[in-house]
Amino acid sequence: MNNPFAGDNSSIQRRETLARWLLRLGSYVVVALTVSIFLFITVKGLPHALKPGFLTELTSTLHVIESNDGQVFKTNPVEADVIKKQLGDNFRSEKTISYSGGGILGPIVGTALLVIVSVTVALFLGVCCAIYLSEYAKKGKFLETVRLAILNLAGVPSVVFGLFGLGAFVLTAPVLTDAPADRAIFVIPLFFTNLSFQGWDTCVLSGGFTLAFVILPVIITASEQCLQAVPQGFRETSMALGATRWQTIWRSVLPFATPGILTSTILGIARAAGETAPIMFTAALAFKDKLPWQKDLPPLPADAGMFAHWEQSVQRFLGVFTESVQALPYHIYTLAAKIPQNEYSEQAQYGSVFVFLILVASLAATSIWLRIHLRKKYKW
Amino acid sequence: MTAEAPATSAPPIISVERFNYAYGDHQVLFNVDLPIRSEDVTAFIGPSGCGKSTLLRSINRINDLVDSARVVSGTIKVDGVDLYTPEVDPIALRRQIGMVFQKYNPFPRSIFENAVYGLRVAGVKDKAELMDAAERSLKAAALWDEVKDRLHELATGLSGGQQQRLCIARAIALQPRILLMDEPCAALDPIATARIEELIHQLRDRYTFVIVTHNMEQAKRIADRTAFFYKGEIVEVGETLDLFTRPKNKLTEDYVTGRLA
């Protein structure tokens, strides 16, 4: 029977098929790549990451001792001496691998501190800026210039931010001090102390501020979009009921933009946690045998009052931010590029990478969960 | 163009005089003269883009929010006070002139919080006073019986008509004397529309209503006086019945008989 609706195998149809397969192929390649990265890291890193103490111990030098009867001991510097003594004549060889022993508690804590500082600074500056741009600024040349500047900021390579941080925060930023350092660029005497532009040194604060500038464009742009997504009707209604602009923003715009701002902030956290270059010159150390709050403070006299104890706690807390720290991305960089490679450094390296990946993935998951959850609450 | 003298000797509550208004270089209102009496429900009719909404939104200066909007010349006076002088605080003005918008838009908060929003931003903190105000305004908006048991549920869960009545309640909670309504029924079904119109009838003695509407039947049903706008000018203004049955102007006649798009 004659079928008038039969497809003719024309070139149009062949192109349609071709296009569909090409697009499908592209998507599959992306999925395959993502999955293979995760698998690769998991296979290589999971066994090491599960070792006892990997998440709870500080980094140390790994000592690998071999005995004549073929035993292999992997241990830390202190125990290495004990084992060597026990082995006596049985001792054959000892290898030391820097930064590859112990765990990665130091880098995890350091990264957490850097993220806390950078997100606090970036969120405050970014949301202020976004609110001004979205709610107060009049459309015009100035606004376009500011937007362009923000976009450009997003395109600046992160190592440039690192050098900027070195110049601005490590070497120049002002501190209050009674005894200004010689390297201070200039000193403004105040009545009771001096404002000395001598920099904050390499520390959490310098690194956090530098990272804040890295994620600032993301936070500003995303926050502004979230503010713009709040219906204009809310603003008009609120103003028509006699609210000021700030009351309107505070009661009827910001609450409904918060889910989106939080989501973008979490993605900013993932970005800040992952950057190496900005913290290289501003905050990160390859090795540190103490946590930032384990600092030797002068012992208090036995009769010290509550106030002295309280003051020392505050000092200890603030001191955390003026310490330099280890950080996960810099730790991985050190293990992968700064020390001679062998199977032991590789294990430590992939173990850290695996933990890092899980941290970032869980941040992303939190962000998605938060968005779904808050969207449900604030629907209009 | 043609401004009738008010029929009574009492001065109009709102008096628009030689009012010219523009968005940037684009002028949208030309020499508008319009006295609005306090006891009347006044309707603005006219095709889209004729400037009726702009005039309405100029009365509580909510149009100040539009970046390029500006008064070219002329005045709007309420109780004889020129609204566009530096001495007038738009915030204080808006507390006394309520507004209801076309798209019912309660905030995604509780019904109670919506009803007392104006009082909250005015700094009222006393719980009992807020509760009183909520009850009073919800009753006035004929919504109390429907929502009294769920005041703390989300307002966005109400039906469209209920949401719009909540918006009216929210506006009258501040006890304004004037209520501006910008196509209050445009997004509602006929039954909800009828309830809003009924509400306007009930409230007309307490508030001066100015209503923009696209629905000429609605203007006939609710308005004492009607102003017909065309291309930024008032073509004709008069008693509603007169304007619809014996229009003086050819344009008005064409519009009310549906011959003018």
pLDDT of residue A86: 85
Cβ contact (<8 Å) for A240 and B99? yes
Alpha helical stretches, state H, B8-140? 52-59, 90-96, 111-115, 117-121, 127-140
Least confident of A21-35, A176-190, B175-189: A176-190
Cβ contact (<8 Å) for B121 and A241? yes
Using the Cα atoms of residue A107, residue A111, residue A117 and residue A121 in order, give the sign of their dihedral. positive
Q: Provide, as residue numbers in chain B, all residues whose Cβ is less than 8 Å from the Cβ of A233.
A: 101, 103, 105
Strands B225-230 and B41-45: parallel
pTM score, two decimals? 0.83
Query: Largest Cα–Cα distance in chain A?
Result: 109
Give every CB contact of residue A140 below 8 A, 6+ residues apart in sequence. Answer: none
DSSP per residue, A296-312: -PPPPPTT--HHHHHHH
Strands B178-182 and B97-100: parallel
Tokens found for residue A140: 């015009």
Are B56 and B29 in contact, with CB atoms under 8 Å apart?
A: no
Are A137 and A253 in contact, with CB atoms under 8 Å apart?
A: no
What's B14-107+177-256's CATH class? alpha beta
Residue A238 contacts B, CB cutoff 8 Å: yes
Strands B97-100 and B81-82: unpaired
Q: What is the mean pLDDT of chain A?
A: 88
Residue A69, pLDDT above cutoff 90? no
Average confidence (pLDDT) over A351-377: 86
pLDDT of residue B2: 46
Average confidence (pLDDT) over A139-157: 88
Are B51 and B29 in contact, with CB atoms under 8 Å apart?
A: yes
Q: CA A169 to CA A163: how far, in whole Å?
A: 10
Q: Provide, as residue numbers in chain A, all residues whose Cβ is less than 8 Å from the Cβ of B94.
A: 239-242
Q: CA A85 to CA B16: how far, in whole Å?
A: 102
Chain B residues interacting with chain A (CB cutoff of 8 angstroms)? 60, 62, 65, 67, 91-92, 94-95, 98-99, 101, 103, 105, 107-108, 117-118, 120-122, 156, 167, 170-171, 174
List the one residue out of A213, A197, A223 whose CA is nearest residue A121.
A213
**Per-residue pLDDT tens for A267-296?**
888 888 889 999 999 988 888 888 888 877
Q: What is the pLDDT along chain B (261 residues), one digit of tens a residue?
A: 444 544 555 788 999 999 999 999 999 999 999 999 998 999 999 998 899 999 999 999 999 988 889 999 999 999 999 999 999 999 999 999 999 999 888 999 999 999 999 999 999 999 999 999 999 999 999 999 999 999 999 998 999 999 999 999 999 999 999 999 999 998 889 999 999 999 999 999 999 999 999 888 999 999 999 999 999 999 999 999 999 999 999 999 999 888 876
Least confident of A194-203, A300-309, B56-65: A300-309
What is the enclosing helix (H) or strand (E) of B124? Answer: none
Architecture of domain A105-288+324-345: Orthogonal Bundle (1.10)
Residue A154, pLDDT above cutoff 90? no
pLDDT of residue B175: 92
Q: CA A265 to CA A119: how far, in whole Å?
A: 7
Q: Which residue has the higher pLDDT, A354 or A374?
A: A354
pLDDT band at residue A114, thresholds of 50, 70 and 90?
very high
> What count of other Cβ atoms lies within 10 Å of the Cβ of residue A256?
22
Q: CA B30 to CA B261: how far, in whole Å?
A: 21
Are A97 and A62 in contact, with CB atoms under 8 Å apart?
A: yes
Edge-to-edge strands, sheet with B81-82: B26-36, B14-23, B69-78, B81-82
Instruction: Give CA separation, A163 vs A286, B46, B61, in Å.
Output: 18, 64, 51
Are B71 and B31 in contact, with CB atoms under 8 Å apart?
A: no
Average confidence (pLDDT) over A137-165: 89
Domain spans in chain A, listed from the N-terminal domain onward: 61-102, 105-288+324-345
List the one residue out of A187, A207, A243 whose CA is nearest residue A325.
A207
DSSP per residue, B158-190: S-HHHHHHHHHHHHHTT--SEEEEESTTTTS-H
Q: CA B38 to CA B206: how far, in whole Å?
A: 9
List the one residue out of B214, B165, B174, B169 whose CA is nearest residue B194.
B165
Alpha helical stretches, state H, A183-305? 204-229, 232-240, 245-248, 254-274, 277-280
Least confident of A11-15, A224-228, A239-243, B220-224: A11-15
- DSSP annotation of B155 reads G
pLDDT of residue A379: 66
Domain spans in chain B, listed from the N-terminal domain onward: 14-107+177-256
CA distance from start to end of chain B = 21
Q: Which of B94, B101, B108 sits opposite A242 (nearest CB)?
A: B94
Q: Which of A236, A379, A380 sits opposite B65 (nearest CB)?
A: A236
Is residue B149 classed as helix, strand or coil in its secondary structure?
helix
Q: CA B218 to CA B234: how far, in whole Å?
A: 19
